Structure 1
Amino acid sequence: MASKRISRKRKAPAAAVSVEEIPTSSLAAVTQQITKDVTAAVLQELRRPTAPAASDSTASSVPVIPSSTAAADSEVQETEPLQTDRDSVMIRETDWQIPGPSSGSSPHANSDSRSFDTHQLFPVIGQLLKSSLAPSTRVVYDKALDVFHTFATLYSFDPFGTNVKNGHIALFIAYLFHQELSHSTISTYLSAIGYVHKLLHNSDPTNNFLVKKLIAGARRLNPTSDIRLPITVGVLNNIVQAVKLTANSVYCKIMFHAMFLFAFNAFARIGEITLAASPENNLQLSDIAVEGDKSHKEVHVTFQSFKHNTNCSRHRIMFGHGPTRISASQSLEEYLQVRGKGSGPLFVNSDNSPVTRSQFDTQLHACLKFCKLDSTRYKGHSFRIGAASLAAEQGYSDAKICALGRWKSSAFRKYIRANTVA
């Protein structure tokens, strides 16, 4: 028997906020639809007449509409197979019932003051849902949902309805594997699907034994390996020297000189020192302090925001000369002198525009090519890999390495490479 849910044709409360129809295969659609349904449920409850004040022996609260009554008031029909990208994601209205006002309250106060406060809070629902995911995660999830939507259309089922079965997910995994996606990408796509279904109060169709075994099979049949090489101390010394001969201006020579050394010594992600998909993680000039005298300079770095920082705490690290021939701290101080004191990202071009990831990669590849190294094996993340590998080689504890690199788990171990001093 086909599963049922409330039709999009159900009669909405007169005061419900209208939502522009947008594609189902979008996190924005889910966020706006949930905001809409919460709004409708709240406004419906606020319009409910309040029982008159009664004596203590007879006073009672205005009851919440039971789920059966709410369902009876709505037009319910079988969910039709998904037809177009314009269908909205729907959720059950009873999932968002709001308790009625307490007895003895004034109807006038309830409808005026509560309505005013509630209307102010409606936009916050969507804002909080949107902010629950990092910008980069939202981009990946949107892509995953779009692929799943296309797949669901092909097999005529609603990708976000309650009728998604294990077989649908198993076929989807096989479909992605046939498209030569890695097991990690498949897992990410399933995370996006599970995220939306849980938001819609559906059971998570991706959380079962069969799915786990299929992912394990994909991992065994198509294992992936990280081919990126670490920027070792020796490689770092060479490319820092190569900057002087490959950069196209004096300012760029000083800037990239400092950027390479900073990326290594601060265990920096490239998105933290260049303009990237998550600009909130970009280090600002105000996050940096250089202290000490000419004989011993120290750089203090405060990471206000960074990947996986779920508790929004600040993280501070410090470095000095570093393991290279040229001092990392003095190199940064020299760059800061030519940069100027204007606010904004730490690393900017001479016109104060942020350094982009593309600029950084282009300069890095030019230096690697000059040093006759395979530029396809070195990426921006190679600085971070090299720093973690050197720390492990020097006997740093796992906890210390995690703290330096702002890792939250043992995931850093996949970055460790041998022989990083050469």
Structure 2
Amino acid sequence: MASSPVDIHLFTDAAPSVDFGGFYQGRWFTSTWPPQVLEIPHASASSALFELYPLVVTASLWGKEWSASSITVHCDNEATVHCINKGRSHSPAIMPFLRRLIWISAFSFCLPEVQAAGTRSRPFANTGTSLFEADIPVNHPLKTLLDASLNSIIQAVSLRTLQSYLTAWESFKSFHLPFNIPFPDFSVLTITSFISFLNSSKNLQASSIKGYMSGVQFFHKLIFNSRSAAIASSQTFMLIKGIQRTQPSRQDARQPITLDILTRCISTLRKGYHSKHVDRTLDTMFILAFFGFLRCSEISTTSTFNPLTHPTVSDLSVVDSETMSFSIKQSKTDQNRRGHFIYIFNLHSPIQPYQTLLAYLHFRKSQTKTTSDPLFVDESNRPATHFWFQKHLKAVLLLSGIPADHFSGHSFRIGAATTAAQKGLSHSQIQALGRWTSEAFKSYIRSDRSIIREAHRTLISKII
């Protein structure tokens, strides 16, 4: 908990061509740029990166003094402020430093109290130099290897996950205060009471409570190098299950864009919905989203375009006269960026998926200078954003005579799974087509009333 609205003021600045520095409570530092920054390609070395790096250094130097404090960082770069507040960036050059900053925030600011708790209950696993504190001298023979270890550890937890864990940990800490419980207490009594508190006072759903428990478990493993027996206990499991049963289930209101709806939307586009450019772009995006079981984030952007993560002209290609491929560089289930290929085949269909993609590829190549340009662009030749895609999708649905309220960019993925199930594809086939790594795909399959009607008709005919 912060002792006041603002406890600490930090000041940093950077001159990309010279050096950087920082000031904190009468102390300061300045340095020339290290090789790890200078070696970043010029195209990726943005001003946001240069402004972020001094903050990482500042947190490394003095972060251990900031536990339970509210910190204001004075920065004159809006892009840096944005990526820190969001906790992520689409720039591959910025992400390692942003990860390091959040990692330092998690362990430099929280670890002192965690280590103190470890000594109260049982010995802390690393009573000497801590891997997470990284407090060995710069000239230590293992310093380089320690830095390498830290960089690898940072990659093990995504920024969003780490941020959610920190939220859970702060909530767990706050829970101790009014009850005068020494922090952190991992007894069954405290853990189950915390869960009931989250349910009754915070009105959290069981699924959210499970996420909080994952966060608390994460920090327990860091303190004791083992899982919490209380969190994994039968009592805790039954408590969460009981909460889940008492809460009304929330139905997913998103509607599927099935093959029939897709066909109607494509027909609207080909009759002339907007400009020729917009119609052709949406036509291709709709078809690719449906037949590729794609998430909206896999064909559009939410921030600055990055050719290393967002779709480019080179990602759509002709394999042979019967096949086209689309490369997905990364996705929700592919954080390691192994990549995945979606194939569109030259099969007979009224909406002609193969021919549509082939024509669009020729169209985009005639417009672009390099194949690293965005694959999908709006009427102003800017990368197609999530908002732009959703806006036009709803407009096309309305023109096609379909109420658009409960449709979104994700409706293509839901509709593809629903259509596949209706066509008799097996669960394993649907899971493979949608690149699902769990059975979550089952929640995407919707039961259409016409299908149920036909099933009833079959039942009646058998009875008669």
| TM-score normalised to structure 1 length | 0.67
SS, match of residue 257 in structure 2? coil
- Distance across 2 between alignment mates of 1:149 and 1:248: 55
Residue 35 to residue 149, structure 1, CA distance change in 2 (3 Å)? closer
1:332 counterpart residue number: 357
Task: Select which of 208, 213, 220 maps to 1:185.
Answer: 208
Work out whether residues 30 and 196 of structure 1, in 8 Å CA contact, stay in contact via their aligned partners in 2: no
Pick from 236, 243, 246: which aligns with 2:262? 236
Question: What is the distance in 2 between the residues matched to 1:259 and 1:142?
Answer: 37
**Corresponding letter in the other structure for 2:152:** L
Q: Is 1:232–1:421's contact at 8 Å kept on the other side of the alignment?
A: no
- The residue type paired with residue 94 of structure 1 is T
Distance in 2 separating the partners of 1:299 and 1:23: 54
1:392-416 deviation per Cα after TM superposition (whole angstroms, max 9, x unaligned): 2223232222221111222212222
Please, which runs of 5 or more residues in structure 2 have no aligned partner? Answer: 1-59, 70-86, 88-98, 110-114, 452-464
Q: What SS does structure 1 have at the residue aligned with 2:282?
A: helix
Aligned to 2:318: 290
Q: After the TM superposition, which of the residue ranges 21-30 and 394-403 deviates more from structure 2?
A: 21-30
Is the 2:326–2:343 Cα contact (8 Å) retained in structure 1?
Answer: yes
**Contact 2:312/2:371, CA 8 A, preserved across alignment:** no
Instruction: For 1:82-231, list aligned pairs within 5 A.
Output: 93-94=126-127, 115=139, 118-157=142-181, 161=184, 163-178=185-200, 179-201=202-224, 203-204=227-228, 205-222=230-247, 223-231=249-257
What is residue 53 of structure 1 aligned with on the other side? none
Query: Is the contact between residue 348 and residue 355 of structure 1 (CA under 8 Å) also seen in structure 2?
Result: yes
Give the AA of the match of 1:186: I
Cα offset, 1:299, TM superposition? 1.9
- CA distance 1:24–1:401, shift in 2 (3 Å): farther
Structure with higher RCO (Cα < 8 A, 6+ apart): 1
CA distance in 2 between counterparts of 1:194 and 1:380 reads 34
Aligned equivalents of 1:322 and 1:235: distance in 2?
Answer: 19
Q: In the alignment, does 2:385 pair up with 1:356? A: yes
Contact kept, 8 Å, 1:228 with 1:377, in 2: the verdict is: yes
Q: Secondary structure at the match of 2:142?
A: helix
Once the two structures are superposed, residues 322-367 of structure 1 have per-residue CA deviations (whole angstroms, 9 ceiling, x without a partner) of: 7863222322233332353441543333555432222222222222
Q: CA deviation at 1:259?
A: 0.8
1:231 Cα offset (Å): 0.8
1:217-264 Cα deviation digits (max 9, x unpaired): 122112232222211111111222344689654322221111111100
* Pairwise CA distance, 1:388: 1.6
Aligned identity (percent) is: 26
CA contact (8 A) 1:272 1:281 kept: no
Q: Quick one: structure 1 residues 398 and 277, their matched pair in 2 at CA, closer, same or farther if it must change by over 3 Å?
A: farther
Judging changes above 3 Å, is the alpha-carbon distance between structure 1 residues 155 and 272 closer, same or farther for their aligned structure 2 residues?
farther
Partner of 1:334, secondary structure, is: helix
